[in-house]
Structures are given as C-alpha cells and as structure tokens.
Amino acid sequence: MANGRKGFWRMFESIVAVSILMVFVLSLSIQYVREPAEPIMKIRGYEILENMDKNDKLRGYVMAGDSDGINSAIVIGGYNHSIEICDYSGTCNGTYPDAENIWLSVYYVAGENTYDPREVKLYIW
Amino acid sequence: MKRKRMKGQFFLIIAFMLIILFYIGISVYLSPPGISETLSNDIDFIINNIENEYPVAFNLGINESDGPGRVINFTIFARNLLKERNIELYSMIFFTESTGSNVNVTVANFLEEPEYVSVGISGDDRILYVQNGSVNSTIFTDPADIFTLDIIFNSIQKNLLLGKYKSNLYFYTELKKGYDIIVGERKT
C-alpha cells in the first residue's frame, strides 16, 4: 500500500516536471515562429522611398513618370514590389499588383524644376 | 530509524529553479526585438515627408511668382490623398514676402476650424480671421531688415526672427491616424 502511494507521487512528480518543461519550451518557440508583422513591411517601404529621395535617386524618376526605373532600383529580398506614380488629377502610371496581402507605402513629391506634385506608391507583397 | 530522504521532491524543486533561471536568462539574451507601437506607425514618415516638401513647393512657387499658392495647393493635394487612407493632415501656414519696403504676411488655415490668428511686428499686433481652407493677409509698413514676427493661434505662440527681403515660410502641421497624433513645425 505504501509502495503504491509512493509510486503515485513519483508519477505525479514526473507529470509536473514534464508539464513545466513543455510550458518552457512552448513559450520559447512561440517567440521565434511568429510571422513578421505587417507594419514592418510598410515601414520598410517608407524607408526605401525616403532613402532614395535623400540619395537623389527618386525625384528624377518621379517627374519623368518612370515607375519602372524606380522599381528597378528597389531590392527587397523575399518580396515582390511594384510602383505607381500618380499626378494631381489622379492619373496613375505603373503597376497595381494582382495579389493578396499587399503593403502600401506612399511618398509625396512637390516637384523638381517646376511645381508638379506627385504621389509615389510602393506596393510590397 | 531510517530517515526518509525526499529525493524526488528535492530534484523537482532544483529542476524548477534551474528552468526558471534558464528561461529568464535566455529570454533576455535571445528574444527577438519587440515590435513597438511606434514602429508600426507610418505617420512618422509621412509627416517628415510633408515637412520636407513644403519648402520645395514654396521655392518652386517663388520661381513661378506664387510661393504661397504652391504650398497651399500641395497641402490640398496631400490632404485629399491622405484622407483616402484615413489619415488627417492639419496645417497652419505663415508666409512673409517683401513688397518694396513693406512686408506682406499671409496665413493659410487647414486646421478644420476657422481661426483667429494674431500676427505682429514690433508691437503692431493684428488679428486675422481665417476660415478653414482659406487665406488672409495683412501688410506691415517698413519693418526692420531683420524683424520678429509674433504669431499666436490656438494656444500656440511663436516669435520668428525673419529677414525682410527674403521670402519666409513657417508651418505647423498635425497628422492624425486613429488615436495616433504627431505634430511638427518648421521655419524656412
């Protein structure tokens, strides 16, 4: 009888030990399998456009309406991307992606040699 | 009498303490960077973009003899497009331009409400009533070559040191997306 009770407690202890270990392992693994959050890619898009403008690699393309030129200058590993350039009247030149889960970052340009405002849209998917 | 030694419980307690210590150490050292709310907020970039483009629009407009007009046009352009993304842009914009020896001060209001704006040079203070989406202006007679423009609107007070024979731009902007609001201002 005493041995049976001892065995019960030993079993109970091992179950508790395994449970503690499982909680520990699961809580660690959850942190590492989480998908990158959507806001990160959106922010990445803004950073790309901002840096291109700072390096004088954006405005010329924008004013020429050269969406392909801007798109070729962008490299985002693991993702597709496309550019649209829209003028004041809302007319856009470029490629709107045919995809689900698209992240959009926008950048505004007032002009280069003359005032001619444009909106640059960077789509990432 | 044989003393019973509680081996199993002892090991369990020690194992539990080691797991806790290990977990604390590894989670602090190896955890991926947390995603803060500020990282997910794109309006930081947008307001920076707008603030950088206002002077561009102003300078291009000056070349076309309409500095204030181009800034106002750009504000309307950006506001309309941002509204499609549920982002609200609010601005109060001040321009000074010399007209001979005098200085013309123009105020453009995009704060969504009509505003009483105080503008003054050397104690000559005037109140301009500016409707939302509209402009109002006043002329100061022969101020000093370097003068201080005192402005008050909405509980904001500024004293701007400006050159008389230079076109000047000062703007206050607010960008609002949901519950996030970011405020900026710049003089150029």
Question: Picking from B19-28, B131-140, B159-168, B174-183, which range would have the lowest pLDDT averaged per residue?
Answer: B19-28
* pLDDT score for B29: 63
ipTM computed for the complex? 0.75
* pLDDT score for B34: 46
pLDDT at B37 over 50: no
Among partner residues A39, A114, A117, which is closest to B39 by beta-carbon distance?
A39
User: Which chain A residues are within 8 Å of B34, Cβ to Cβ?
Assistant: none
- Say whether both A9 and A60 belong to one domain: no
* pLDDT score for A27: 74
Whether the CB of B59 is below 8 Å from some CB of chain A: the reply is no
Cβ <8 Å between B8 and A9:
yes
- Say whether both A82 and A24 belong to one domain: no
- Say whether both A16 and A54 belong to one domain: no
Q: How is residue B6 annotated by DSSP?
A: -
Q: What is the mean pLDDT of residues A26-48?
A: 71
Mutant choice from A108, A113, A120, A121 vs B, greatest count of B C-beta within 10 A: A108
Mean pLDDT rounded to a whole number for chain B: 88
- Say whether both A21 and A71 belong to one domain: no
Q: What is the mean pLDDT of residues A49-58?
A: 95
Whether the CB of B45 is below 8 Å from some CB of chain A: the reply is yes
| Chain A to chain B Cβ contacts (< 8 Å) | 92
Per-residue tokens: A46:
């803004």
* pLDDT score for A13: 79
pLDDT at A34 over 70: no
- Say whether both A30 and A77 belong to one domain: no
Q: Looking at CA atoms only, how far is residue B31 from chain A in angstroms? A: 7
Cβ <8 Å between B45 and A47:
yes
Whether the CB of B12 is below 8 Å from some CB of chain A: the reply is yes
* pLDDT score for A67: 96
- Say whether both A55 and A101 belong to one domain: yes
- Say whether both A70 and A120 belong to one domain: yes
* pLDDT score for B26: 67
Q: What percent of chain B has pLDDT over 90?
A: 70
pLDDT at A44 over 70: yes
**Counts for chain B of helices (H) and strands (E), in that order:** 3, 9
Which helix (H) or strand (E) segment is A28 a member of? helix A2-33
pLDDT at B39 over 80: no
pLDDT tens for each residue of B80-124: 999 999 999 999 999 999 999 999 999 999 999 999 999 999 999
Confidence of residue B4 (pLDDT cuts 50, 70, 90): low
Domains in chain A, number: 2
* pLDDT score for B75: 96
Q: How is residue A101 annotated by DSSP?
A: S
Question: Picking from A66-70, B17-21, B183-187, which range would have the lowest pLDDT averaged per residue?
Answer: B17-21
Which helix (H) or strand (E) segment is B78 a member of? helix B67-83
Whether the CB of B51 is below 8 Å from some CB of chain A: the reply is no
- Say whether both A51 and A94 belong to one domain: yes
Among partner residues A20, A114, A115, which is closest to B19 by beta-carbon distance?
A20
Dihedral sign for Cα atoms in the order B128, B123, B167, B53: negative
pLDDT at B25 over 80: no
- Say whether both A79 and A43 belong to one domain: yes
- Contacting B residues, span 14-43, partner chain A, CB-CB under 8 Å: 15-16, 19, 22-23, 26-27, 31-32, 35, 39-42
Q: Which of B14, B27, B35, B34 is nearest to A25 (CA)?
A: B27
* pLDDT score for B109: 97
| Domain around A20 | 1-34
- Say whether both A21 and A55 belong to one domain: no
pLDDT tens for each residue of A93-122: 999 999 888 999 999 999 999 999 999 999
Cβ <8 Å between B56 and A107:
no
Determine the Cα–Cα distance for residues B129 and A66; give it in Å rounded to an integer.
44
Whether the CB of B181 is below 8 Å from some CB of chain A: the reply is no
- Say whether both A78 and A28 belong to one domain: no
Determine the Cα–Cα distance for residues A13 and B171; give it in Å rounded to an integer.
69
Three-state secondary-structure class, residue B114: coil
**How large is the angle between the packed helices B43-63 and B67-83, nearest 10 degrees?**
150
Three-state secondary-structure class, residue A80: coil
Among partner residues B9, B39, B74, which is closest to A40 by beta-carbon distance?
B39
- Say whether both A78 and A90 belong to one domain: yes
Does the domain at B43-187 match CATH 2.60.40.10? Answer given as yes
